[in-house]
Amino acid sequence: MAVLFDTVRDDAALQAQPEAPPAKHPIQLTINGREHALRVEPWVTLLDLLRERLDLTGTKKGCDHGQCGACTVLVDGRRINSCLTLAVMRDGASITTIEGLAAGDELHPMQQAFIECDAFQCGYCTPGQICSAVGLVNEGKARTTADLRELMSGNLCRCGAYPQIVQAVGSVLFGPGFRPAAEEATQRNVPGTAPT
């Protein structure tokens, strides 16, 4: 940390800027059912607000550029990348993070399915995978295993637990007897996707 600060201080261009006190904006957010009245600088992303200011560190920072999906949360029921939205832009919104899915000690069915299907290895992408999967179920657009794979493509898993993730999401979406059909594993679904 000290090294980082020294680097910034040495930057003449930045040093030349007058240090004005940051302008904070008042916002109201409902996070996991609890109301928060906050004051945030405009450049604070929703992800950083959750992790750094509210200690909701279940939501992960992977790439911080909308490429990995680890930061996925539900805003008014819709899944988004919390790294690419400013907290001030979400004034008045209702946000659900991984911490807000369980009802007390009762896990959300998607959390339970991830455990039962062993759908993770290191677990870093898991909160984003689960929030994304809950959003996918809310959207109601996945009718086949191929749809499921396509509509989970915004969440990367560097451990490669994809078969188990598909099994977990499918068991919630299509029922506990779900088995991804072999022929569906390579079936293309989205018009425009390159044939394999």
Partner 1 sequence: MNRFEYARSGSVHDALRAIRQVPAMVDALGPEPLGTDPPMKFIAGGTNLLDLVKENVMHPRLLVDINGLPLDRIQPTAEGGLLLGALARNADTAYHPLVQERYPLLSAAILAGASPQLRNMATNGGNLLQRTRCYYFYDAGVPCNKRQPGSGCPARGGLNRIHAVLGASPQCIATHPSDMCVALAALEAVVLVSGPQGDRRIAFADFHRLPGDRPDIDTTLAADELITGIALPPEGFGRHSAYLKLRDRQSYAFALVSVAAALEIDEASGEIREARVALGGVAHKPWRDREAERSLIGRRAVPAAFEAMAAMVLADAQGCGHNDFKIPMAHRAVVRALERACGVEVA
Q: Which residues bind partner 1 (CB under 8 A)?
A: 13-14, 16-18, 22-23, 25, 41-43, 45, 64-66, 69, 72, 78-81, 84-86, 88-89, 132, 135-136, 139, 141, 149-151, 153-155, 188, 190-194, 196
| Ramachandran region, residue 175 (left: φ > 0; alpha: ψ -120 to 50; beta: rest) | left
Nearer to partner 1, 103 or 182 (CB): 182
Helices (H), 16-108: 46-48
Q: How many CA atoms lie within 13 A of 124 on its CB side?
A: 10
Nearer to partner 1, 99 or 147 (CB): 147
Least distance from partner 1 to the Cβ atom of residue 38, Å = 14
Name the β-bridge partners of 45: 86
Nearer to partner 1, 76 or 118 (CB): 76
What is the residue type of 169? V
Least distance from partner 1 to the Cβ atom of residue 155, Å = 8
DSSP letter at 22 equals P
Nearer to partner 1, 84 or 107 (CB): 84
- Using alpha carbons only, how large is the chain's radius of gyration in Å? 20
Contact 127, 167 (CB under 8 A): no
Least distance from partner 1 to the Cβ atom of residue 33, Å = 21
Least distance from partner 1 to the Cβ atom of residue 111, Å = 19
Strand bridging mode 78-81 / 34-40: unpaired
Nearer to partner 1, 9 or 188 (CB): 188
Least distance from partner 1 to the Cβ atom of residue 105, Å = 29
